[in-house]
Copies of this chain bind each other. A is one copy, B any other.
Amino acid sequence: MAKLRAHNLAVSLDGFGSGAGQSLQTPFGHAGTRLMEWYFPTPTFQGMTGDRERQAVDPAHEPDDVFARRSLEGIGAEIMGAGKFGPPGWQDDPEWRGWWGEEPPFHSPVIVLTHRPRPALQVGETTFQFLDTTPEAALEAAFEAAGGLDVRLGGGPTTVREFLKRGLVDMLHVVQVPILLGRGAALWTGLEGLERDYDVESTTTPSGVTHIVFTRR
Residue with the highest number of chain B CB atoms closer than 10 Å, among A183, A188, A200, A203: A188
Q: Is the CB of B210 within 8 A of A210?
A: yes
Complex interface residues of chain A between 1 and 42 (CB less than 8 A to chain B): 13-15
Most-contacted residue by chain B among A193, A200, A202 (CB, 10 A): A202
CA of A201 to CA of B28, assembled, Å: 24
Listed A/B pairs (20) with beta-carbon separation below 8 Å = A13-B15, A13-B212, A14-B188, A14-B191, A176-B176, A176-B210, A178-B195, A178-B200, A178-B202, A178-B212, A179-B195, A180-B195, A182-B190, A182-B192, A183-B192, A201-B208, A202-B204, A203-B204, A204-B204, A204-B210
A-B contact sample (13 more), CB < 8 A, given A14-B189, A15-B15? A14-B15, A14-B188, A14-B191, A15-B188, A178-B195, A178-B202, A180-B188, A180-B191, A180-B192, A180-B193, A182-B190, A201-B208, A202-B209
